[in-house]
């Protein structure tokens, strides 16, 4: 049994210590925000924040999390009450398929917490290793800048 703090709640998880955090979040805790994209630290679809920093959950072991809090998009807001950042993605229609988007949002969240007024170049550089295949890049950048403006 491992203790894991996720989105404000402490969970007891019955998973091997060396499980990848991604599968624990998805399969043991039933979360959908973190996605499997590559499992190799190459795409960012699985990005969550741990203790406020953006981390790729596909290459993070459950045992590495310790007592820091894990946050996924589910922890930012809900359908009825999306967070400012999530609302900015809706307002900018910043998705095509949207599969990459939860990872983008968590990466952007970590950026904005650290640097609330980033330049466009900074946003692009922060997101540069998060891949999007649909070509929603410019919309995603606009959404992050909008969230920064409206915060």
Which parts of this chain interact with another protein (CB under 8 A)? Answer: 15-16, 19-20, 23, 26-27, 30-33, 35-40, 42-43, 45, 72-74, 76-80, 82, 86, 89-90, 93-102, 105, 123-125, 127-141
Query: Six-digit token pair at 109?
Result: 């969240």
Closer to another protein by CB, 78 or 113: give it. Answer: 78
**Which of ligand FES, another protein, none has residue 56 at its interface (CB below 5 to 8 Å by kind)?**
ligand FES
Q: Under the criterion CB under 6 A, does residue 77 sit at the interface with ligand FES?
A: no
Q: Under the criterion CB under 6 A, does residue 96 sit at the interface with ligand FES?
A: yes
Site for ligand FES in 41-70 (CB under 6 A): 41-46, 56, 58
Site for ligand FES in 117-146 (CB under 6 A): 132-134, 136
Q: Under the criterion CB under 6 A, does residue 110 sit at the interface with ligand FES?
A: no
- The least CB distance from residue 66 to another protein, in Å, is 20
Answer yes or no: are the C-beta atoms of 114 and 82 closer than 8 Å: no
* HEC sequence for the chain: CEEEEECCEEEEECCCCCCEHHHHHHHHCCCCCCCCCCCCCCCCCCEEEECCEEEEHHHCEHHHHCCCEEECHHHHCCCCCCCHHHHHHHHCCCCCCCCCHHHHHHHHHHHHHHCCCCCHHHHHHHHCCCCCCCCCHHHHHHHHHHHHHHC
**Which of ligand FES, another protein, none has residue 86 at its interface (CB below 5 to 8 Å by kind)?**
another protein
């Amino acid at each position: 049994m491992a203790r894991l703090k996720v989105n404000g709640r402490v969970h007891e998880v019955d998973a091997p210590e060396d499980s990848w955090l991604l599968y624990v979040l998805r399969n043991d805790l039933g979360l959908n925000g973190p996605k499997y994209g590559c499992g190799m630290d190459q795409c960012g679809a699985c990005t969550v924040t741990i203790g406020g920093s953006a981390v790729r959950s596909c290459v993070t072991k459950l045992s590495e999390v310790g007592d820091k809090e894990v946050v996924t998009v589910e922890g930012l807001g809900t359908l009825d009450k999306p967070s400012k950042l999530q609302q900015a993605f809706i307002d900018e229609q910043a998705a095509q398929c949207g599969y990459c988007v939860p990872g983008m949002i968590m990466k952007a969240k970590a950026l904005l917490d650290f640097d609330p007024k980033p330049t466009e170049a900074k946003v692009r550089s922060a997101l540069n290793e998060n891949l999007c295949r649909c070509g929603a890049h410019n919309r995603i950048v606009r959404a992050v800048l909008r969230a920064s403006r409206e915060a």
